[in-house]
Chains A and B, each alone.
Chain A
Amino acid sequence: MNQQHSDCILTIDMGTGAVRIFAFDLNGAVIGSMKGSYPTFHREPDYSEQDPEQVFITVLYVLKNLLNERIHPGGHKVIAICFSGAMHSVLPVDKKGIPLGNAITWSDNRGKREAQALKGTASGKAIYDATGTPIHPMSPLIKISWMKHHDKERFDHTARFLSLKSYIIQQLTGEHIIDYSLASATGLFNIHTFTWEQAALDHAGIGAGKLPDLVPVFYSKPRLRREYQTSLGLAPDTKIIAGASDGALATLGAGVWGEGKATITIEQSGAVRVVGNKVLKDQQQRFFNYVLTENYYVSGGPTNNGGVIFEWFAKEFGAFRKAFDLDDSMDQLILEASRIPAGSDGMLFLPYLLGERAPIWNANARGVYFGLNMQHSRQHFIRATIEGILYEIYSIGKTLEEHRAIHTLSINGSFTAYPFWAQMISDIFDKPVQVKDNSDSIGLGAFLLTATEMGIYKSLEEAARVVDIPTMYRPDKNDHEVYMRYYKVFERLSSKLLEDFEEIAGLQG
């Protein structure tokens, strides 16, 4: 084996619930991967938090295991490490860099009043236009402004508001940085000028000095602290690359680049994304525009109600066997759903159990089964549930198509791995569909970024072209027409029920 072949690149993705580390050779083939999960704590109903030290230790533990079990014994030399991370987290640290409590993560809703108050205003609109991040409790802008009003003591003690990813990089290298891509999901970063947005900083009540230092995604100056070089067995010159957000890298790793392509991710939540060199301007503020690099924007819309809704259904109504297994139950449900024709014989489901983000952006929206008649069976409920989740995804795609032409879809995430779901996406959208594993996409995206930084590819565009995914599903025209007839009703109901959503959400307290 020659020296060239034994070089490898590590990608570390700190996702919403787990860290995944991949090792790639320089051709992009996976040498090995490992994951380790960390919990999300909900000490109050709207709170979602993670323990930064636990995330750090988990990263270190998984990294160490992968190195000791696969990389060092295989004779590979790590030449670069690239980071990816979940968006929207906020971790306040004091002047010594010590965390002041837990990190507030993406799904935290404590700032819903602050978000609502800002959203309708002219300054809210201006901040959205400048930062590309919808005014929503997920946004660090809102989280920090919540803290200013409701957790003054912590706010006052905070020397810097980091992201979880920034904290991990700081622990490993000593640098307080955030890449443009992750910064562009904070609601505090101007996506046109690549600096912190003054109006947003003013709203949050902080100066730019309270945030990590901004760096490009290719930034590669940091080096591992000496102790970690020794304990991990990594060379002092191992390149540390800032990297990007998980969403941006998943899009790159799915080969979605330039015109005509969109990517759909369905995990617990979901998103539809496109990439382009222009910001998507939407009067109704329905989309996010996140940065990948200076020339590329990942635009799209997120949904709260992805696979989590199907899991809810499986838990509540799935087949009860002695040793219950959620995956078994979901397999069984999908088998049953496939016996019902497209359109579920007229049963419709609005999947807004968790309120909804794109495209309706209504935290008070709720779930609805509609059109039930005496012929409907349990199986109809199963199929209608899946169709409803995908109609919602389609409604995001359709709104995106007002701005961009989409010819093919690249889909990823654990739920798109079910052929039944993949085919249904193809039928509803009437487009050919390619399937890719999501955690693979993020890792591959981070690899492509690193390889581009190292000059293996000339540009990210060229790098994205090497992602080769065969088309696996083609649309069925008849089913498409059936779905479209019901989708019209779905869309109408979603807007018609506005008042009733408000009232029922109020009654639910």
Chain B
Amino acid sequence: MNSYLLQQGRSKELELFPHIIEFGSKKIQTIQFNSFPVEKTAWLRAYYVLDGRYDWIIDGMSRILYPGDLALILPEQSFGGARELLDIGAFFWIALDMNRSYLSTLESRSIQKILLLNDSPVIAGFKEGGHILQLIGRELSGQEIGFQTRINHLTDTLLILIARQLTKQNNSQRDFPRTFMKLEQELRDNLSHQWTVEEMAALVGLGTTAFTEKVKSFTGFSPISYLINIRISEAIKLLKRTDINLTDVALDTGFYSSQHFSTTFKKLTGYTPSQFRKNNTDNL
């Protein structure tokens, strides 16, 4: 395997693939000092180690990588070698513009969310990912019939596999309560977002059917009912504590209109939001 580097705008191999910013392969036979400074990246980068042991600084933290490991660097994160050097070994990498994938909007949004929530940038023993990178390299150099479609598929597949692996790694199926707690926090942090069951399930790494069943048996509610619970609870706090108008309360807590908010609120509590606010600020 030889070292090479393809770059968008410079290498004609990438002309057909605007979403691939960089693709490279490196084999290092003597330690290269000052060749790998820590720098901020603008793209999503994935490095797969084939050989050697690397001490890299990712987003300010030192991470050790062994053959079979994949390092994931998100846009705006810093990345480089500890002591700015590259040890003996070999690795592949790709830099992607995530906004130009061929995934559906919903899936792409879920995947980006999973990547952003991830706090351990090393996927250990990720042979599948390495294999895909290898195939992408081969297709780029071979340019056989169908390579354009194939490469687009492969880059999407890589993103999907990474997202799936991260949810597995970050959400212990052994401890659903803990996983559910993390989801609860995420829902509360982004309550105004129009969550779908698919998105919630994707975050914890389950299919929608299994997810719905687990949530139902753990909480007694369907995922959407549980979400409505949180929305109403937060709305109650806003109604009691502040004088922001009802439309803003509705939108802040994820209802798509004040009408929708009012109907749901009244159905559950028996009060309209404005009656409720009046009751809790006047008397007592």
Contact = CB atoms under 8 A, between A and B. Distances in A.
Interface string A343-355: 0000000000000
Which of A34, A53, A326 has the most chain B CB atoms inside 10 A of its CB? Answer: A53
Interface in A23-65: 34-37, 39, 51, 53-54, 56-58, 60-62, 64
Contacts of A228: 270
Contact of B270 (A54, A230, A315): A230
Interface in A223-237: 227-228, 230-232
Contact of A324 (B173, B220, B230, B281): B173
Contacts of A323: 173
Contact of A232 (B173, B237, B270, B284): B270
Instruction: Categorize the interface residue count of chain B.
Output: 20 to 34
B234 to A, nearest CB: 7
A51 B175 CA distance: 22
Nearest to A318: B174
A293 B175 CA distance: 40
Contacts of A98: 240-241, 280
A235 B150 CA distance: 68
B233 A54 contact: yes
Contacts, number: 73
Interface in B184-237: 184, 218-221, 225, 229-230, 232-234, 236-237
Given A37-B219, A98-B280, A324-B173, A64 B268 contact: yes
Interface string A215-253: 000000000000110111000000000000000000000
- B184, B225, B229, most chain A CB atoms within 10 A: B229
A315 B176 CA distance: 11
A18 interface: yes
B231 to A, nearest CB: 9
A34 B220 contact: yes
Nearest to A227: B270
Chain B facing A: main interface SS: helix
Contact of B269 (A51, A60, A95): A60
A227 B271 CA distance: 7
Contact of A36 (B221, B230, B271): B221
A348 B50 CA distance: 47
Question: What DSSP secondary structure best describes chain A's contact surface?
Answer: helix
A329 B174 CA distance: 9
A315 to B, nearest CB: 5
A329 to B, nearest CB: 8
Given A53-B234, A96-B280, A96-B281, A18 B220 contact: yes
Contacts of B232: 53, 57
Interface of A: 18, 34-37, 39, 51, 53-54, 56-58, 60-62, 64, 95-98, 227-228, 230-232, 315, 318, 323-324, 326, 329
Interface of B: 172-176, 180-181, 184, 218-221, 225, 229-230, 232-234, 236-237, 240-241, 266-271, 275, 280-281, 284
* Cβ-closest 7 pairs across A and B: A231-B270, A36-B220, A53-B233, A227-B270, A54-B233, A37-B219, A53-B236
